[in-house]
């Protein structure tokens, strides 16, 4: 982290000095920024106040007093730049250490325990209301049949979480991008807003990369289905049901019926879907000839590929490149 920015963030704000004296939360937002709810102690923070003439709002969370339970009308990220903190998020205890990032969906309630001197928590708010956890779900789902299955399973849960915690990873992938955003925001150099928007696209893509959907470890059927779908995602070019059945020690017909029951789709449909997903990725990110892509994904019949691609993506492969 840039030392000048870090030093600035560690300086005491006026409100922080007041909170340090009393240990009590001091409201620092104007009335127009808060939508008080008469029937509950929660309140909503309106995005119109934060996003005047800007796409992203970044701030340091004020230290030395607990922050009351509240909710937002926009997606929020809490990034632990240094130290640690405890929050209650959607009724769950969440602990963040340095480098951890908490993604809060629109409408998710949370409260934050008192932060101390070296606990620097950065809030990053999005103007774009189309960005949500569902947005990340859709991006992850479009990457493989495995995540399509996991996300469909998760969406069926009555108490699905409205937040995701991204723990600091070994290669500091998310941390590096987040700290670049923070530095650009506080330095306010020329073209900072444009650079921040570009970094945000990178950050969101990295979050999708590191987004692991929770699974039911106690459900052996789901765990087997996950292993099968992982096999399909990794070996879609030449995988076949006979080899898969032999690998897991099941009769071919039994495994076929199991896959259909657990996923709602046949084995051949899942393999075709994964091939089309890979084809779409190659078509939109490379200049490889479509004929070569068809061969690369393991499909033999070009006519069949075009028909299935149109049915899956509602457009022809060539139109993706126009």
Q: What is the CATH number of domain 3-131+161-209?
A: 2.60.120.280
Does pLDDT of 229 surpass 80?
yes
Q: Could you tell me if 108 and 72 are in contact, meaning their C-beta atoms sit under 8 angstroms apart?
A: yes
Does pLDDT of 158 surpass 60?
no
Q: Could you tell me if 63 and 16 are in contact, meaning their C-beta atoms sit under 8 angstroms apart?
A: yes
What is the residue-averaged pLDDT of the chain? Answer: 85
pLDDT, tens digit, 9 for 90 and up, residues 286-321: 999 999 999 999 998 999 999 999 999 999 998 888
pLDDT, tens digit, 9 for 90 and up, residues 33-66: 666 554 445 555 655 567 766 667 888 999 999 9
pLDDT, tens digit, 9 for 90 and up, residues 86-127: 999 999 999 999 999 998 888 888 999 999 999 999 999 876
Q: Is 3-131+161-209's fold the same as 220-321's? A: no
Does pLDDT of 188 surpass 70?
yes
Domain segments of the chain as ranges: 3-131+161-209, 220-321
Q: Could you tell me if 252 and 241 are in contact, meaning their C-beta atoms sit under 8 angstroms apart?
A: yes
Helix 241-248 vs helix 220-234: angle between axes, to the nearest 10 degrees? 140
Does pLDDT of 145 surpass 80?
yes
Q: What is the CATH number of domain 220-321?
A: 1.10.10.60
Cα 95 to the center of its chain, rounded Å: 18
CB-count burial class (<10 Å; 0-12, 13-18, 19+) for 40: exposed
Instruction: Work out the percent of the chain whose per-residue pLDDT is above 70.
Output: 86
Q: What is the pLDDT of residue 45?
A: 61
Residue showing tokens 């996991």: 150
């Amino acid at each position: 982290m840039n030392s000048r920015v870090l030093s600035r963030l560690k300086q005491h704000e006026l409100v922080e000095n007041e909170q340090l004296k009393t240990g009590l939360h001091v409201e620092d937002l104007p009335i127009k920024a808060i939508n008080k709810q008469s029937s509950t102690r929660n309140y909503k923070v309106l995005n119109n106040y934060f996003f005047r003439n800007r796409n992203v709002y970044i701030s340091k969370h004020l230290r030395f007093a607990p922050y009351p339970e509240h909710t937002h009308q926009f997606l929020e990220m809490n990034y632990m730049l240094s130290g640690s903190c405890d929050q209650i998020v959607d009724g769950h205890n969440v602990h963040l250490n340095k480098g951890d990032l908490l993604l809060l969906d629109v409408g998710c309630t949370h409260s934050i325990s008192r932060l101390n001197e070296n606990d620097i928590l950065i809030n990053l708010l999005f103007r774009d209301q189309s960005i949500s956890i569902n947005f990340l779900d859709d991006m992850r789902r479009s990457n493989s049949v495995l995540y399509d299955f996991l996300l469909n399973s998760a969406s069926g849960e009555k108490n699905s979480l409205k937040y995701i915690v991204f723990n600091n990873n070994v290669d500091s992938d998310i941390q590096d991008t987040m700290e670049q955003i923070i530095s650009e925001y506080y330095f306010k150099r020329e073209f900072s807003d444009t650079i921040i928007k570009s970094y945000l696209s990178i950050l969101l893509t990295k979050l999708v990369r590191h987004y692991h959907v929770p699974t039911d470890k106690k459900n052996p059927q789901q765990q087997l289905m996950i292993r099968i779908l992982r096999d399909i995602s990794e070996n879609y070019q030449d995988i076949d049901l006979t080899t898969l059945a032999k690998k897991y020690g099941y009769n071919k017909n039994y495994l076929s019926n199991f896959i259909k029951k657990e996923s709602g789709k046949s084995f051949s449909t899942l393999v075709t879907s994964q091939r089309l997903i890979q084809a779409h990725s190659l078509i939109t990110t490379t200049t490889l000839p479509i004929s070569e892509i068809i061969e690369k994904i393991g499909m033999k019949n070009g006519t069949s590929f075009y028909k299935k691609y149109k049915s899956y993506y509602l457009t022809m492969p060539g139109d993706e490149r126009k």
